């Protein structure tokens, strides 16, 4: 795929998606961090239901660190892997207090030291909160990039590196949310809505499947 087509794809997505941002509901960096940790293998809709309850009880790292694991589990037990996630968000809150003055770190190294935070989660925080031009490759973006030949790779990191290198700079800050929202609602896993897709005329997937 040449650079001109890439620019046209991102330009079309930007016109189609008026507000390319996360669908997780949050009021501050701490709430987004906890929400993203909880979102692994869980829909944003479900996470928003859980965090609405959780943040009423524990809106700060201090509050969350004080809760017992049993209390946290009772609040978040409707999502997958809740026992492990309860431990992670409790430990993360304590580390934020002890090492970062209760603030979410602005650097990847600090973020990835937190339990439950890997490269993808760190990229979400860096992009959404701190406006860094990074791309967090989740299942939607991994599928989309490989499917339409925007950035093919066998691993999320490989796809991330290719997208970061080839995405036009003017779209790089919004690329994560543009791609994830397009993958979530249009270029879906089982039945992509190709006929209503805003980049249908640019996509290279259709030449292999229609």
> The domain spanning residue 195 has which CATH number?
1.10.1670.10
Write down the pTM of the prediction: 0.89
Instruction: Give the end of a domain, one of 121, 147, 181.
Output: 121
Nearest to 13 by CA among 156, 147, 182: 182
Grade residue 18 by pLDDT with cuts at 50, 70 and 90: confident
What integer is the mean pLDDT of 44-66?
A: 96
* 127 lies in some domain: no
Residue whose token pair is 């978040």: 76
Looking at residue 1, its pLDDT comes to 80
The residue from 52, 66, 120, 191 that is catalytic is: 120
Residue 120 bears catalytic tag: yes
Each residue of 130-181: pLDDT tens digit? Answer: 999 999 999 999 999 999 999 989 999 999 999 999 999 999 999 999 999 9
Each residue of 31-50: pLDDT tens digit? Answer: 999 999 999 888 999 999 99
SS3 assignment, position 94: helix
| Residue 169 structural domain | 3-20+134-209
Three-state SS string over 7-73 comes to HHHHHHHHHHCCCCCCCCCCCCHHHHHHHHHHCCCCCHHHHHHHHHHHHHHCCCHHHHHHCCHHHHH
39 and 112 fall within a common domain: yes
What integer is the mean pLDDT of 7-25?
A: 94
* 128 lies in some domain: no
Grade residue 210 by pLDDT with cuts at 50, 70 and 90: very low
Neighbours of 23 (CB within 10 A): 14
114 and 146 fall within a common domain: no
- pLDDT higher for 207 or 43? 43
Grade residue 28 by pLDDT with cuts at 50, 70 and 90: very high
Residue 52 bears catalytic tag: no
What integer is the mean pLDDT of 58-65?
A: 97
Q: In whole angstroms, what is the distance from residue 19 CA to residue 84 CA?
A: 33
* pLDDT(120) > 60: yes
The residue from 53, 138, 161, 165 that is catalytic is: 138
Instruction: Give the end of a domain, one of 87, 121, 155.
Output: 121
* pLDDT(207) > 90: no
Each residue of 63-113: pLDDT tens digit? Answer: 999 999 999 999 999 998 999 999 999 999 999 999 999 999 999 999 999
93 and 167 fall within a common domain: no
């Amino acid at each position: 795929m040449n650079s001109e087509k890439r620019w046209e794809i991102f330009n079309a997505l930007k016109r189609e998606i008026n507000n390319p941002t996360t669908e997780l509901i949050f009021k501050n960096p701490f709430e987004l961090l906890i929400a993203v940790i909880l979102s692994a293998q869980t829909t944003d809709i479900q996470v928003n239901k859980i965090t609405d309850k959780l943040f009423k009880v524990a809106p700060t790292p201090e509050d969350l660190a004080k809760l017992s694991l049993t209390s946290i589990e009772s609040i978040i037990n409707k999502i997958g892997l809740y026992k492990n996630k309860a431990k992670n968000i409790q430990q993360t809150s304590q580390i934020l207090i002890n090492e970062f003055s209760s603030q979410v770190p602005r650097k990847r190294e600090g973020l990835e030291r937190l339990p439950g935070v890997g490269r993808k989660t760190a990229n979400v925080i860096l992009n959404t909160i701190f406006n860094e031009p990074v791309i967090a490759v989740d299942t939607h973006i991994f599928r989309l990039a490989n499917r339409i030949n925007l950035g093919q790779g066998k691993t999320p990191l490989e796809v991330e590196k290719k997208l970061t290198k080839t995405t036009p700079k003017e779209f790089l800050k919004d690329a994560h949310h543009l791609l994830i929202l397009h993958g979530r609602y249009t270029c879906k896993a089982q039945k992509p809505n190709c006929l209503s897709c805003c980049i249908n005329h640019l996509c290279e997937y259709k030449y292999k499947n229609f």
